[in-house]
Amino acid sequence: MQDPTYLILLALSDRPRHGYGILLEASELSRGTIRLGPGTLYGALERLEEAGHVELDREEIEEGRPRRYFRLTRRGRSLLVEETERREALVGLAKQRLAHR
Amino acid sequence: MSPLERRVRALISLFPASFRARWEEELVRTTLETCTAEQSWPHPRDAWDLVLSAIRAHATTPATEPFRLVLAQGIVLGAILLAGVRIGALLLRFGWFLRWLPANSAAGVPSEELALYAGPLALELAAYVLLAVALLHRRRVLLWTGALTLGAIGLLGTLRYPGPIGIRWALGMAVPGAIPFVMAACTMGTRKTERALAVRPALVGLALVSFAATAFRFAAWFATTTWHLVPGTIDRCATAVAALLLVACTVSGFADPRWFIALGVAVIGWNTRDFLQTSDPLVFLGTAVVVTVSWVHWRVLRRQAAGSGQGRSDREMA
């Protein structure tokens, strides 16, 4: 899983968010080091939605335009947990290796 | 609609139609939200991100439309690829001509060469520019001007070489050129086929493919002169690779069928020209392979489409 996808899942892990909300949260989570573009975001959302990891939470009309909120599905959450464990294991290995030097 | 929104929408129109049907308004809204009130252009980084994501979406979005639409899209894309390859090759040849000219102008500019070589090249390039403008602005007059220009080039060849050679030359010039025009005319004629579907990816595709074609021509020329190959070897190899790719993709069912139909159309169109002008049996063989494979591919797709119900999309079936 690439960083942008991981960040999107992570941004949705606490509560449903809309597109711009995900961008802001992802930027904050990565402390500004990763800045998602809108194209990347919706490309990833489509793939995640098709794979059943993310679903539509609700749709609101704001200023005459639709605003969709997305939430993590149970499958999405378990994918996020799995990926976090994988990343954690990798970081653990890296730390061990660096400590030996 | 603000200028900013218009520009953002123009970028978003690069995405495939199926993607836009689901995400367009959302994407517009979110992109606008990342801009400040003073901005009249999207941030270059976001614009680049949209373009790249659009290309990615085209390459990965499965063809969920009914089969006849997929086939139509594939053919349109193929015509666009062909036009791109043609423009790349033309630009390169024009460049060579300009380099060749000063060395030969000491003995007086050969006006016959100019009329024979540079004239048709410039006309054909102009015809493609007209095609692009006509498609973008939906101007029928421009479209037919472009088509007539190509016809005129053909005529020029027939006048220069009377008899069968001239006719062959004219056909070789007109057929590959005519394919994009016929496709463009059809796209404009049918209201059902979305214009954006054919035109927007075209602009990205054209730029990329002309660049790639120019690079390919140069590499082919370089390889031919360095290793003293028989002229045309590289073209045949490329045709073979394209045919093999088609076979591999057909067999494995990999990726979006539209791109492979497109590749088939482009290769056929490209080789038609060589075959008409040189009657080279190897070119004919290569073309025959590609035509056969495209046909098999088409049959496979048709069976799949029949299997999932005529006129209904896979998405609906799912």
- ipTM of the modeled complex: 0.86
Contact B132, B206 (CB under 8 A): yes
| Count of the separate structural domains present in chain A | 1
**Apex B18 CA angle, B14 and B23, nearest 5:** 75
- Vertex B145: Cα angle to B273 and B267 (nearest 5): 25
HSE of A64, CA atoms in CB hemisphere, 13 A: 0
pLDDT of B318 > 80? The answer is no
- Chain A nearest C-alpha distance from B66 (Å): 19
**If we measure between CA atoms, which residue out of B221, B200, B199, B263 comes closest to residue B89?**
B221
Kindly list the distances between the CA atom of residue B244 and the CA atoms of B238, B258, B261, B266, B296, in Å, as whole numbers in the listed order.
10, 17, 14, 15, 13
DSSP H helix total and E strand total for chain B: 13, 0
Cα–Cα distance for residue pair A16/A55, rounded to 1 Å: 10
Contact A68 B49 (CB under 8 A): no
- Among the partner-chain residues A39, A41, A47, the one whose CB lies closest to the CB of B54 is A39
Alpha carbons A48 and B23: distance in angstroms, whole number: 14
Interface of A with B in 23-62 (CB under 8 A): 23, 35, 37-43, 45-47
Can you give the CATH number for the domain in which A76 is found? 1.10.10.10
- In this predicted structure, what is the pLDDT of residue A67? 87
- B25 neighbourhood in chain A, CB within 8 Å: 65-66
CA distance B119 to B111: 10
Which of chain B's residues have a Cβ under 8 Å away from the Cβ of A45? 23
Give dist(CA B315, CA B167) in Å, integer: 49
CA B123 to chain centre: 18
Q: For residue B278, what are its two tokens? A: 């040189």
* pLDDT of residue B54 exceeding 50: yes
Whether B268 has a pLDDT exceeding 50, the answer reads yes
Closest residue in B to A45 (Cα–Cα): B23
Does the CB of B250 have a partner CB in chain A at under 8 Å? no
User: CA-to-CA distance for B36 and B54, rounded, in angstroms?
Assistant: 23
| Rounded CA separation B132/B105 (Å) | 34
**Beta carbons of B34 and A20 less than 8 Å apart:** yes
Query: Domain containing A51: what range?
Result: 3-100
Supply the pLDDT for residue B314: 38
Of residues B34 and B55, the one with the higher pLDDT is B34
Q: How far out from the chain centre does Cα B178 lie?
A: 12
Q: Do B30 and A41 touch (CB under 8 A)?
A: yes
Which residues have C-beta within 8 Å of that of residue B36, sequence separation ≥ 6?
none
How far apart (Å, rounded) are the C-alpha atoms in residues B6 and B77? 25
Phi-psi map region of B7: left, alpha, beta (phi>0 left; psi -120 to 50 alpha):
alpha
| Percent of chain B clearing pLDDT 70 (strictly above) | 20
The lowest-confidence range among A20-29, B19-28, B177-186, B207-216 is B207-216
- Asked if A16 is an interface residue toward chain B (Cβ–Cβ < 8 A), one would say no
Chain B residue numbers with beta carbons less than 8 Å from the beta carbon of A20 are 29-30, 33-34
Chain A nearest CA to B115, separation (Å): 48
pLDDT band at A9 (very low <50, low <70, confident <90, very high): very high
The CA distance from B34 to the nearest CA of chain A, in Å, is 8
Q: Name which of A15, A4, A3 is nearest A77 in CA terms.
A: A15
* Cα B207 from Cα B87, distance rounded (Å): 10
Q: How sure is the predictor about B200, in pLDDT bands with cuts at 50, 70 and 90? A: very low
